[in-house]
């Protein structure tokens, strides 16, 4: 039994089964709060706790899935290719929106961390919360943060952004497809992009390009803004 649990196949299968259950629940209930990723995480936590399965055993297969994060992110370029003409027509406002989204994300993390008196290492780990996992983990490590904390922050941000984002747009009566795509991409990275693709092709394409550009902007600006913060408050 231990050989089965420690096998990479076990981690992959349990992840896929949990996610498929999440998809079925979402299709049945048709509410955005029942995000398949969120449901699968809850299922796996309960399952591993109930049967006393070690994370290290699960991660033998989990890291196989993680390996495909980078190729999956690159594949998001396909919707952008289909809508590239739209991007060229609105390049300046799109880039301005992405820049504002990336900067506001960093400022909010640093500001709230200061307000709640979080440690520097925790603050650094939370700064990349709104960019895709491969880039976020690398940035966290570069800044001296904890990549494991960064991963959790990225997952939570992605899930809640994809749930709350479309809801806020309905309340605020914002109907622009490009704006919705940029907002989801800059706030909740790949998970938000998956939601954007569910809403429409234009939203998905704009969210895809946002992931890339927001990631680059965050990598370039985060170290500078963090040093500026330390200079001002120390």
pLDDT, tens digit, 9 for 90 and up, residues 112-155: 998 999 999 999 999 999 898 888 989 999 999 999 899 999 98
pLDDT band at 1; cut points 50, 70, 90: low
pLDDT for res 65: 82
Average pLDDT over residues 16-44: 89
Average pLDDT over residues 4-33: 88
pLDDT for res 150: 94
pLDDT for res 63: 82
Instruction: Show the DSSP H helices in 76-200 as ranges.
Output: 77-82, 84-89, 91-115, 120-126, 133-143, 147-172, 177-199
Compute the mean pLDDT over every residue in the chain, rounded to the nearest whole number.
Answer: 87
For 28-93, give the DSSP string.
Answer: HH--TTS-HHHHHHHHHHHHHHHTT--HHHHHHHHHHHHHTHHHHHHHTHHHHHHTHHHHHHTHHH
- High-pLDDT (> 70) share of the chain, %: 96
pLDDT for res 224: 93
- Cβ atoms of residues 196 and 115 within 8 Å: no
pLDDT for res 73: 67
More confident residue, 169 or 233: 169
Question: Dihedral, CA atoms, 127, 132, 135, 136, nearest 10 degrees?
Answer: 30
pLDDT for res 191: 87
pLDDT for res 234: 64
Of residues 100, 141, 103, the one with CA closest to residue 124: 141
Does residue 75 carry a pLDDT above 80?
no
pTM comes to 0.82
Look at the alpha carbons of 28, 29, 31, 36 in this order and tell me if their dihedral is positive or negative: negative
pLDDT for res 172: 87
Of residues 176, 215, 221, the one with CA closest to residue 199: 176
- Integer CA distances (angstroms), 125 to 139, 148, 226, in order: 9, 8, 12
Does residue 78 carry a pLDDT above 80?
no
């Amino acid at each position: 039994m231990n050989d089965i649990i420690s096998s990479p196949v076990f981690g992959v299968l349990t992840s896929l089964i949990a996610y498929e259950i999440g998809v079925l629940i979402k299709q049945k209930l048709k509410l955005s709060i029942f995000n398949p990723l969120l449901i699968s995480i809850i299922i796996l936590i309960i399952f591993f706790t109930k049967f006393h399965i070690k994370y290290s055993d699960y991660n033998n297969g989990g890291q196989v899935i993680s390996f495909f994060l980078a190729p999956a992110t690159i594949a998001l370029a396909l919707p952008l290719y289909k809508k590239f003409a739209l991007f060229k027509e609105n390049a300046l406002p799109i880039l301005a929106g992405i820049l504002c989204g990336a900067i506001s994300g960093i400022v909010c993390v640093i500001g709230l961390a200061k307000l709640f008196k979080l440690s520097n290492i925790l603050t650094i780990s939370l700064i990349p919360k709104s960019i895709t996992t491969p880039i976020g983990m690398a940035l966290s490590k570069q800044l001296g943060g904890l990549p494991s904390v960064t991963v959790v922050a990225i997952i939570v941000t992605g899930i809640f952004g994809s749930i709350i984002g479309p809801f806020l747009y309905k309340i605020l009566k914002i109907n622009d497809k490009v704006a919705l795509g940029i907002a989801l991409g800059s706030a909740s990275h790949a998970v938000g992009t998956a939601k954007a693709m569910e809403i429409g092709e234009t939203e998905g394409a704009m969210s895809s390009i946002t992931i890339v550009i927001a990631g680059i902007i965050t990598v370039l600006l985060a170290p500078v803004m963090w040093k500026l913060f330390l200079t001002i408050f120390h």
